[in-house]
Amino acid sequence: MTAIAVEHPCRHPNERTLFPALDYITRERFDVRRCDTCGLVRTHPVPDSLDRFYPSGYYGATEDRYGPLATRFLSMVHGARARRITALNDGAGTVVDVGCGPGLLLDALRRCGWTVRGIERTEDAAAFARERLGLDVHAGDWRASPIAAGELDAVILWHVLEHLAAPEECLDWAVERLKPGGVAVIASPDFGSLEARWTRDRWFHLDVPRHLIHFTHDTLAAVVRRTGLDIVATSGVAPEYDLFSLVQSTLNCAGVSPNTLFTMTRRAGARVVDGSALDRVASVLLAGPLAALGLPLTMVAGMAGAGATVTLYCRKPR
């Protein structure tokens, strides 16, 4: 099957600003805009270069980004996710994870028997997965990756499309490299979620300008379907994000310096900002009660398909 071109059919002629938002790292202002014709939400303006919005500490270099407890929890979550992907594909095969980060999901897939490859945007981003986990990771643009059409049994686009000004191009590239019957796992924050609508510019997952596109479930599904992929399952549950996102978004709305708690979960070498001592104390004191209150809310929202993230499990027609 030849991949279908997925150029977005709408030129966004009726785009309006929903609200302004600040980058919590550089403190630069951007606008969040929605097209009233197609519903797609975008960050404006798109920086000429995004490099300075991804400081070296953002990736954590060759050190763990998080402490040992968080890393162990993430490994358990990715292990369960890898088993689901393996079952969906009826066994292991060859997989590429575009935007693989520290490579924990690839490592889990490797333990399930997969031949794994990753792609990251810079050498710094690829360092941990390569040097600490021994993974095969291409550093650079996904367009330059030496992966042939029809080579892959699975493609992972885990919270990566929202980082691209033209996500349709990356998705089309990925689908073309899938074998007929191959599996694609595509995840993104859900701008249409209750949490996003409530916290607006203080939403943890907004992350302008690193997130250039703000998908809802419907707009992400529309982009995916234009490639010819069949969506076989949808999940609104991502344990590594759900509760923490609600707690951090609430703290942001309460006036704590943005994403202070998130910064505190990262090791010193992987921190990009530091809140004041008062912000840190407030985050620690409020995190427990907010988590206790938020846990049932995130569980109900996830089961109802209204969680802060959306994951689409897809298959390329045979």
Q: DSSP letters of 99-122?
A: T-TT-HHHHHHHHTT-EEEEEESS
Q: Which two tokens stand for residue 228?
A: 């010819």
Q: DSSP letters of 115-142?
A: EEEEEESSHHHHHHHHHTT---EEES-G
Lowest model confidence (mean pLDDT) among 22-26, 73-77, 285-289, 313-317: 73-77
Helix/strand/coil for 200: helix
Task: Supply the mean pLDDT for the chain.
Answer: 90
Query: What's the total number of domains in the chain?
Result: 1
- What is the tens place of the pLDDT at every residue in 64-87? 666 777 778 888 999 999 999 999
Residue 142 lies in a domain: yes
Domain that holds residue 106: 15-45+53-315
Q: Which two tokens stand for residue 226?
A: 């234009």
pLDDT confidence band for 8 (50 / 70 / 90): low
Task: Check residue 238 and give its pLDDT.
Answer: 92
Residue 2 lies in a domain: no
Task: Check residue 1 and give its pLDDT.
Answer: 32
Task: Check residue 16 and give its pLDDT.
Answer: 94
Residue located via tokens 């490859």:
117
CB contact at 8 A, 186 and 314: yes
Q: Compare 21 and 263 and report the one with higher pLDDT.
A: 21
Residue 232 lies in a domain: yes
Cβ-based burial of 115 (10 A; exposed 0-12, middle 13-18, buried ≥19): middle
- Please give the Cα distance from 21 to 39 (Å, whole number): 19
Task: Check residue 5 and give its pLDDT.
Answer: 38
Nearest to 156 by CA among 313, 316, 307, 317: 313
Residue 259 DSSP symbol = T
Region of residue 91 (left: phi > 0; alpha: psi -120 to 50; beta: else) = left
Residue 106 lies in a domain: yes
- What is the tens place of the pLDDT at every residue in 248-294? 999 999 999 999 999 888 877 667 787 899 999 999 999 999 999 99
Nearest to 183 by CA among 106, 79, 118, 91: 91
Residue 68 lies in a domain: yes
| Residue 93 identity (one-letter amino acid) | G
Nearest to 117 by CA among 148, 75, 71: 148
Residue 6 lies in a domain: no
Indicate which CATH number applies to the domain containing 130: 3.40.50.150
Chain mean position to CA 106: 15
The average pLDDT across 75-103 equals: 95
- Please give the Cα distance from 126 to 128 (Å, whole number): 6
Whole-prediction pTM: 0.92
Nearest to 81 by CA among 114, 117, 126, 128: 114
Helices (H), 214-256: 217-226, 242-253
Lowest model confidence (mean pLDDT) among 63-67, 72-76, 112-116, 298-302: 63-67
Residue 185 lies in a domain: yes
Residue 233 reports pLDDT greater than 70? yes
Residue 7 reports pLDDT greater than 70? no
Q: Which two tokens stand for residue 192?
A: 């249409």
- What is the tens place of the pLDDT at every residue in 130-177? 988 999 999 988 898 889 999 999 999 999 999 998 899 999 999 999
Residues β-bridged to residue 118: 97, 137
| Residue 99 identity (one-letter amino acid) | G
Helical (H) or strand (E) element with 42: strand 41-44
Residue 38 reports pLDDT greater than 90? no
- What is the tens place of the pLDDT at every residue in 184-219? 999 999 999 999 999 999 999 999 999 999 999 999
Residue 10 reports pLDDT greater than 80? no
Residue 1 lies in a domain: no
Residue 30 reports pLDDT greater than 50? yes
Task: Check residue 60 and give its pLDDT.
Answer: 58
CB contact at 8 A, 69 and 90: no
Cβ-based burial of 318 (10 A; exposed 0-12, middle 13-18, buried ≥19): exposed
